[in-house]
Amino acid sequence: MPTVNILPNEDHSNSPAWTISTGSDVYAVLDDDHAGNPTSDSSQITATANNKLCDIGFQSLADVGVDTDDIDTIDSVQGVIKANNYDRGKNYELRMRILSGVGVELWGQESTGTVNATNSWDTHTFTQRDGYDSGHASSGWSGSQINGIRMEIELTA
């Protein structure tokens, strides 16, 4: 199966709350791919303190034109986040977990490590996971496991 990108399409929680730049939905400001820098991007979530946590849901495979009847398994899943702390001389750390549609952990928490501020978006690509059971050996992901998949994003520093 070719690579398929699914985007956020629903909020499950935002507490302790990130600040949403416009509107009231976290997912709605995270579902674009701004190529510029944080100061010119009007579609983002921000925080002035650590320990912010949001949980967002993603499109189903059908939403991106994939018929789950045509696939046996999905080889792997990989989280990607664009982030930055554009405050000169500062740094940040993000943690990410993948959850099932009902909030069960499918992929244990992973960290960006400490990242120094720059003037553009940094792309954080997390470990590619070939199984849905928090990193243990498995035989891939099913379409039903991908449909309803969620990502939890936490600012820790």
Distance CA 95, CA 74 (A): 24
Mean pLDDT of 103-129: 89
d(CA 119, CA 87): 9
Which carries the bigger pLDDT value, residue 34 or residue 134?
34
Angle (nearest 5°) at CA 103 between 99 and 106: 30
What are 44-56's pLDDT values in tens digits?
899 988 999 999 9
What pLDDT sits at residue 69?
77
Q: Which of 32-36, 66-70, 126-130 has the lowest mean pLDDT?
A: 32-36
d(CA 83, CA 76): 23
Contacts with 77 (C-beta within 8 Å, 6 or more apart), sequence order: 98, 107, 128, 129, 132, 141, 146, 149
Q: What is the pLDDT of residue 59?
A: 93
Concatenating the DSSP letter of every residue in 38-96 gives: GGG--S-EE-SSS-EEEEEEE--TGGGT--GGG-S-B--B--EEEE---STT-EE-EEE
Q: Dump pLDDT digits (tens) for 10-31.
A: 999 999 999 999 999 999 999 8
Confidence at residue 4, expressed as pLDDT on a 0 to 100 scale:
85
Q: What is the pLDDT of residue 40?
A: 80
Q: For position 9, what pLDDT does the model report?
A: 95
Q: Averaged over 99-113, what is the pLDDT?
A: 89
Residue 138 has pLDDT above 70, yes or no: no
The H or E element spanning position 27 is helix 26-30
The pLDDT, as a whole number, for residue 132 is 67
Of 2 and 89, the structure prediction assigns the larger pLDDT to 89
**Residue 73 confidence (pLDDT) above 80:** no
Mean pLDDT over 130-147 rounds to 70
